[in-house]
Amino acid sequence: MVPTITLNDKTRIPQLGFGTYLIPPEETAGIVGQALQVGYRHIDTAQMYGNEEGVGAAIAASGVPREELYVTSKLNNGNHRPDDVRRSFDETMNRLGLERLDLFLMHWPLPTLYDGDYVSTWKAITGLVADGRLRTAGVSNFQPDHLDRIITETGVVPAVNQIEAHPYFANDAAREASHRHGIAVEAWSPLGQGGAVLEDEKITEIAAAHGRTTSQVILRWHIQRGDIVFPKTTRRERMVENFGLFDFSLTPQQVEAISALDKGERGRVGPHPDTFDYVPD
C-alpha cells in the first residue's frame, strides 16, 4: 500500500514512515507497537531521542518479519569523532536488538564544532556500510555546501538528506542540491510542527474539496513532490489518519498552490544547520 523510493545505492525505502521524536522512552514501545499494528513498516528514531530501546522492544514484540521493516537511526551530536561513531553505532544496534540497520544518518553537520570536520564523521559512517552492519548511509540537515564538501572529499554520495520541509518552509536550496546529487529528500517536521499551517486558508479549502483533513493534504503534497515523510503522533486515530494518503491525489494546480505558501527563512521552525551546535550532556 505504501509506495517505495529507490535510493542511489539501489535499496528501497518506504515513502511513508512513523516518527518517534519527543516520544518519551517509557512510552515508546507501546506507541510504536500501535503504529506497527496500523500498518507502518518504516520507523525513524535517533540516538538523541533516547528511545531506541523502546523501538527495539516494539519490533521484537510485533511479530512483523524483519525483512518487512525499515529502521532508521541517527548519530548523536556528541559522537562525531570516528571512534565514537563506531562505538555509538554498536550501542544503537544493541538497544534496537538488530544485527543490521537499514539507514543511519549524521543527524547534524555541526560545522562550527569538531574543527569544522564533519568529513571524517561521514567517512566513519560509510565505513559501517563496508563492514556490513549498515545497509544505507545518509545525512540530515545538510546544506548545499555541506553536501558538496563531503562528496568532493570522499567520493561517497549520501543516499538520503533528511531536512526540515513543509508548506511554509520549502527549503528549496537544500532540496535542489540533494536532487542534483541524486540524493532522496526526507522531510522532518512535514506538518510544520502543527499550528498555523494546519489552519491555512488555502490548505483548508483544498482539504474540503477532497473531504480530507489538512494534515492529510499536506502529507499528500509531500508524497506527490517525491518526499519521504514520517509524521509523529502518539494517538492511534491520528496514526490511521496519517496512513490514509494513497487513495486520493491532489491536482497539479493544488500542489502548486500549496508550494506557493512558502515563506522562505521566515517559515523555518527549527534551528539553522549552519549555526546549530547543540551537544547533549
Per-residue pLDDT of 233-273, as tens digits, reads 999 999 999 999 999 999 999 999 999 999 999 999 999 99
The confidence score (pLDDT) of residue 195 equals 81
CB 147 within 8 A of CB 139: yes
pLDDT tens readout for residues 216-231:
999 999 999 999 999 9
Put the strands of the sheet holding 70-75 in their side by side order: 18-19, 42-44, 70-75, 101-106, 134-140, 160-164, 184-188, 228-229
Nearest Cα to Cα of residue 15 among 190, 147, 199, 167 = 190
> Exposure of 146 by Cβ count < 10 A (0-12 exposed, 13-18 middle, 19+ buried)?
buried
pLDDT tens readout for residues 100-135:
999 999 999 999 999 999 999 999 999 999 999 999
User: Measured at the alpha carbon of residue 96, what is the angle toward residues 27 and 109, in degrees to the nearest 5?
Assistant: 95
> Exposure of 110 by Cβ count < 10 A (0-12 exposed, 13-18 middle, 19+ buried)?
buried
Distance between terminal CA atoms of the chain? 41
- Residues carrying an active site annotation: 49
Helix (H) or strand (E) run with residue 13 in it: strand 12-14
What band does 58 get if pLDDT is binned at 50, 70 and 90?
Answer: very high
Cell triple for 74: 541517527
pLDDT tens readout for residues 150-161:
999 999 999 999
CB 266 within 8 A of CB 272: no
pLDDT at 194 over 90: no
Assessment of whether the complete model's pTM goes beyond 0.95: yes
Q: Helix (H, G, I), strand (E, B), or coil: what is residue 98?
A: coil
The confidence score (pLDDT) of residue 123 equals 98
Amino acid at the residue 136? T
What band does 193 get if pLDDT is binned at 50, 70 and 90?
Answer: confident
User: Measured at the alpha carbon of residue 230, what is the angle toward residues 250 and 120, in degrees to the nearest 5?
Assistant: 125
